[in-house]
Structure 1
Amino acid sequence: MTATTRRRLAAVLLAMAIFACLGLVTTAAVGRPIEIGTLNALLIGAGIGLFEEFYVQGPRGNWMRAMHPLRVIVIEILVVMVLYLVALHVTHVVLGRLDDLPVVYRRLPYGLAFFTAFSIVGILMMRVAHFVGLRTLLDLIIGTYHRPVEERKVLLFLDINGSTALSERLGALTMRAFVRKFLSDLSPPIVDHGGDIYLYKGDGLIAIWNWADAFRQDAILRAVDAMFATVAHETDAYQRWFGVAPAFRIGIHGGAVIVSEQGDARRSIGIYGDAINIAARMEEAARAHNVRCVISEVVAGALADRTRVRVIGAEQVKGISAPIAICEYAPGRLA
């Protein structure tokens, strides 16, 4: 099971927990047995969670993700109403309460309206968890980084080549659709190989790994291979929709960073330190040397397999006294 699938299943469990709580409230409001309301809500939560994570957030859900979020919520409310009617009958069959259905039908308009109103809260909570990220949301809630913590991370910077010229060619709106697909395609390879998306920035992103996770079976290199392989696999789709496929470059560096909560009115998890500045410089070096991926010697030295790594020079980084040795990594097919 991939990390992406595990993350999606965790989101489904969260949806089930949210809707179970809503089901208890609804059950109490309409005066129905607790076991019926809870099982009913768990089924609905599983259904809406699976729909959100494996359809809306999957390749087939591109049309929904391109819609205005409020319209998507309306569609999901309609899905909840359908799931409510299905789950209602499944619950009574499972619990052997078919004789109770006439009472349910009499109260159906009230129960359906009441649960639908509460489901809006559940859908919005799921949206918040998805937009912020389950791990980040949990860290903010329990205060993992309420006080600054020093950790060893590996950072990956990625950008599209020639994005300015490409934007002029495609136009602003088409370019955003192009970047949306590009970033959506690259996220699963990162997550599946132990990384997290730290930040989407313009036409690129910053991903992070815990130091040990990055070098376990050289996961960081496998992620790079998977990203290039994914875009290559989608070349026909890019050509069909946009008339051009993306080329991109990657820079990677790792070291000690400070991780801390940041902001006040809007809080997030921030990363600080020289390592992030050097990683950004690695991505710039990839452009300067006209290669697809540059990694620092610090990262190269921690790899188990340096077969496709070669030293190409050194880069001076502002604020760092000594030049940073850099290497080219030549992405290949996944093993």
Structure 2
Amino acid sequence: MTATTRRKLAAVLLSTVIFACLGALTTAAVGRPVEIGTMNALLIGAGIGLFEEFYVQGPRGNWMRAMHPLRSIFIYILVVMALYLVALHITHVVLGRLDDLPVVYRRLPYGLAFFTAFSIPGILMMRVAHFVGLRTLLDLILGTYHRPVQERKVLLFLDINGSTALGERLGALTMRAFVRKFLSDLSQPIVDHGGEIYLYKGDGLIAIWNWSDAINDDAILHAIDAMFAAVAREGKAYARAFGVVPGFRIGVHGGDVIVSEQGDAKRSIGIYGDAINIGARMEEAARTHGVRCVISEMVADALSDRSRVRALGSEQVKGISTAIPICEYAPG
């Protein structure tokens, strides 16, 4: 099972729990049988989670992701209604209460309105969890980084080649659609190989791995290979929609960083340390040397497969007294 699938199933479980809690509370509040309301809510929550993670966040769900979030709520309401009609029959079969179905049918408009009303907060909570990121949200709730923590990370910096000229050629709106597809195509290979998106920045991104996750079985190299393969696989789609296939460059570095909560009115998880500046310089070095991927020697030395790694020299990083030895990695 890939890391992406595990993440999606974790989100489905979260949706199920959220809806079950809301269903139990609201059913008890109106004096209805709690076991029926809770089981209906469990089934609806699982259905909403599966719909969100495996349809909306998949290739076929592009039209919903492009829709205004508030407008998409109406689509979710229709899905909830359909799920409720299925769930009430399953619930009554499982609980052995088929005799109650005639009463349920007579009260169907009330039941639909009731479950739709409590589902809206659940849907909004799921959307917030997706926008913030499930792992980041849990870290903020649990206070994992309430006090600064030192961790060893591998950081990957990525940018599109010639993005300024490309933006002028495509126009702002088309360029936005182009970048949106590009970043979407690259996100799954990162997550599938143990990484997570730390930040989307304009026409690029920063991804992070725990050091051991990146180095074990050369996962960072497999992620880079998969990213270039994903764009190559979508080449015809890019050419058809935008008239150009994106080229991009990657820089990779690793080391000790400080991870901590940041902000007040708006909270997030921040990463601090020299490794950030050096990682950004690796991406700039890829542009300077005209190669697709530059890896610092510190990361390259930890890899087991160096067959496609060659030394390039050293790079001076502002604020770092010693030049950083760098290597080229040739993606397969």
Deviation at 1:96, TM superposition (A): 1.9
Match of 2:68 in 1: 68
2:292 maps to 1:296: no
2: distance between equivalents of 1:50 and 1:256? Answer: 37
Deviation at 1:262, TM superposition (A): 0.1
Match of 2:52 in 1: 52
Specify the SS of the correspondent of 2:166.
helix
Match of 1:124 in 2: 124
Query: In percent, how many aligned pairs have the same letter?
Result: 85
1:1-335 to structure 2, matched below 5 A, reads: 1-332=1-332
2: distance between equivalents of 1:25 and 1:242? Answer: 50
Farther off after superposition, 213-222 or 66-75: 66-75
- Deviation string 1:53-92 (CA, Å, 9 cap, x unpaired) is 0000000001111111111111111111111111111211
1: distance between equivalents of 2:321 and 2:66? Answer: 47
1:30/1:111 contact within 8 Å kept: no
- Deviation string 1:189-229 (CA, Å, 9 cap, x unpaired) is 00111101000000000000001111010000000000000
1:26/1:111 contact within 8 Å kept: no
2: distance between equivalents of 1:60 and 1:75? Answer: 15
Deviation at 1:108, TM superposition (A): 2.4
- Deviation string 1:4-51 (CA, Å, 9 cap, x unpaired) is 000000000001001101211232244332221111111111111100
Specify the SS of the correspondent of 1:270.
strand
Specify the SS of the correspondent of 1:305.
coil
1: distance between equivalents of 2:212 and 2:166? Answer: 37
2: distance between equivalents of 1:240 and 1:67? Answer: 22
Farther off after superposition, 210-219 or 105-114: 105-114
1:218/1:305 contact within 8 Å kept: yes
1: distance between equivalents of 2:28 and 2:311? Answer: 68
Specify the SS of the correspondent of 1:81.
helix
Deviation at 1:171, TM superposition (A): 0.8
1: distance between equivalents of 2:64 and 2:257? Answer: 38
Matched to 1:171, the amino acid is: G
1: distance between equivalents of 2:31 and 2:144? Answer: 41
- Deviation string 1:68-126 (CA, Å, 9 cap, x unpaired) is 11111111111111111111112112222111012222332223212211111000100
2: distance between equivalents of 1:237 and 1:71? Answer: 28
Specify the SS of the correspondent of 2:307.
coil
Q: TM-score, normalised by structure 1?
A: 0.97
Structure 2: runs of 5+ lacking an equivalent: none
2: distance between equivalents of 1:20 and 1:331? Answer: 46
2: distance between equivalents of 1:72 and 1:176? Answer: 20
Specify the SS of the correspondent of 1:31.
coil
1: distance between equivalents of 2:173 and 2:120? Answer: 30
Deviation at 1:277, TM superposition (A): 0.3
1:22/1:115 contact within 8 Å kept: no
Q: How many residues align?
A: 332
1:278/1:317 contact within 8 Å kept: yes
Specify the SS of the correspondent of 2:325.
strand
- Please tell me the root mean square deviation across aligned C-alpha atoms, in Å: 0.9
Structure 1: runs of 5+ lacking an equivalent: none
Matched to 1:14, the amino acid is: L
Matched to 2:287, the amino acid is: R
Specify the SS of the correspondent of 1:303.
coil
2: distance between equivalents of 1:169 and 1:74? Answer: 36
- Deviation string 1:276-317 (CA, Å, 9 cap, x unpaired) is 000000000000000000000101111111100000111100
1:159/1:250 contact within 8 Å kept: yes
- Deviation string 1:214-270 (CA, Å, 9 cap, x unpaired) is 101000000000000011000011111111111000000000100000000000000
1:259/1:271 contact within 8 Å kept: yes
Matched to 1:240, the amino acid is: R
1:315/1:326 contact within 8 Å kept: yes
Matched to 1:257, the amino acid is: V
